[in-house]
Amino acid sequence: MKPDIWEDYEELIPEADMASNERIECGYEPFYEPPQAVPQAVTEPLPTTAEPAVQPTEQANTQPVRTGGYVPSYSLASLADMPLTAEEQAELDAMLKEQMQALGRISKEEQEEQRQRDEEQRRRDTLRQIIEPYRLRASDRLPELTPVIQHKGVIIGSEGNISAVVGEAKSKKTFFCTAIVGSLTDTYDKQRFGIKHRLCKVLWVDTEQSREHIQKVLFRINLLSSLDIDKDNPLVYTQTLREEKPADRLALMEYAMQYFRPKLVVVDGISDLLTNTNCLEESEALVARLLTLSTQYKCHIMNVLHTNPNSDKARGHLGSTLMRKAETVIFVHRTGDRSVVEPQYCRNEPFERFAFQVVSPAEELLQRYPRAEGLGLPEECELPTAAESREDDCVRILREEFGGSAERKLLCHKMEEVFNLSHNYANVKITRAIERGILLYDGSVVSLP
């Protein structure tokens, strides 16, 4: 029984050669050349120097020898009966397919299928080149987070990320940021508020205040950094952008980042980089740009913005977007003459709450620097007690209006009515009072301890 491959192979051999049952060499040339004029038959056997590996048959010795480069070896019949291994069969099939393709024997359907396979492979290769840079594997070796701002060993802000400092108007958010900058750039490695010292460049961008008020911020940073009050701090670069258009403010900030290469960027008044803080598209575009800049320049961008009235939520779509994308959201609120700083949302471990108050410079500083008069410096202080805390309003209302016990929804409604609060903010105040142990809650009823 001949293998199927030989049926196709025989089609490549002229009928005259098949009829004569010539002896051919095991193997064939890639392309068949038509025989030239047949010379006079050679009747004498070719001279040989050694015995052939396989003895030709007697009939083959009497047949004419084929010219054109073929050496007589086996008869076609004997080759057809030789068993082939799977590897040999696959090799012969591939060789035959190449010859058939070269001779135009591949059908149009097969050619179209091959073309579609090649096109699909090219498309997949293109897609892989596009998406591969954004792929993250569990086996990837990534560097550890590089902290820029740490509070008692806990990361508040790291390179390549952004954060938000939110709070009511006049809650001392700017004072808090100056304390951070002063701790980072202090020449004597002093720590304030538990902020770890790290000597690095800081870009301060202000979009709200006048130049005179911003200069006072610089005076304050210098005093906190143990520098002369009117000496230029080489680690702090300040921009005043209040007079510029929102789009120009962002562009100028980017130029300063490119030139100064800071590790920390403080944007006091991030909402002024937009024309409309309630525009969702504009807000998302700005936050996306901040994320890109923090990654590109390997820095941390701290954004300062206001909360909604009677709420602890950042203002507008910009505030909502920042709270979703920020590594840390810090809430600053007033309690009497103290400002309480607490973590609101953290991707890392939450830092401990702490408080500070603004005090006058020491007499020694005032004598040395008369311009420090009325400047005010942030100084860490003890957290307010439950009686001093604003959340004590919950305790007072619960005692005076309900006798020390009431359903939570009733207490919340009364808080809204008495203090003109939103429902969400009143509920937040009750939750904080419960978390701090000044109120008890059993699932529906709130009571005094």
**Stretch among 70-74, 201-205, 275-279, 388-392 having the lowest mean pLDDT:** 70-74
pLDDT over threshold 80, residue 378 = yes
Phi then psi for 314, rounded to 5 degrees?
-65, 150
Q: What is the mean pLDDT of residues 47-53?
A: 51
The residue among 83, 84, 28, 75 whose CA lies nearest residue 52 is: 75
Buried-exposed string 322-334: b where 16+ CB fall within 10 A, e elsewhere: beebbbbbbbbbe
pLDDT value of position 105: 58
- Would the pLDDT of 165 be above 50? yes
Cα angle 232-252-204, degrees, rounded to a multiple of 5: 40
384: confidence class by pLDDT, cuts 50, 70, 90: confident
DSSP 32-58: PPPP----PPP-SPPP-SS--SSPPPH
Instruction: Tell me the pLDDT tens digit for each residue of 427-440.
Output: 888 888 888 788 88
Percent of the chain at pLDDT above 90? 43
Most confident of 46-55, 268-277, 396-405: 268-277
The pLDDT value recorded for residue 60 is 46
Residue 104: which H helix or E strand, with range? none
Exposure string for 280-297, b = 16+ CB within 10 A, e = fewer:
eebbbebbeebbebbeeb
Q: Please state the rounded mean pLDDT for residues 136-148.
A: 92
Question: What is the DSSP track for 299-323?
Answer: -EEEEEEEBPTTSSSBSHHHHHHHH
Q: What is the mean pLDDT of residues 169-181?
A: 92
User: Which residue did the predictor score with more confidence, 248 or 38?
Assistant: 248
Angle ∠(306,307,311) on CA atoms, nearest 5: 160
In this prediction, residue 103 has a pLDDT band, given cuts at 50, 70 and 90, of low
- Which of 20-34, 118-132, 358-372 shows the lowest mean pLDDT across its residues? 20-34
Which pLDDT band holds residue 19 (cuts at 50, 70, 90)?
very low
pLDDT at 36: 56
Above 90 in pLDDT, residue 75?
Answer: no
CB neighbour list of residue 98: distance below 8 Å, 6 or more residues apart: 30
> What whole-number distance in Å separates Cα of residue 157 and Cα of residue 180?
11
Structure tokens at 420: 């003109």
Question: What's the DSSP call for residue 287?
Answer: H
Q: Which of 75, 97, 88, 81 is nearest to 8 (CA)?
A: 97
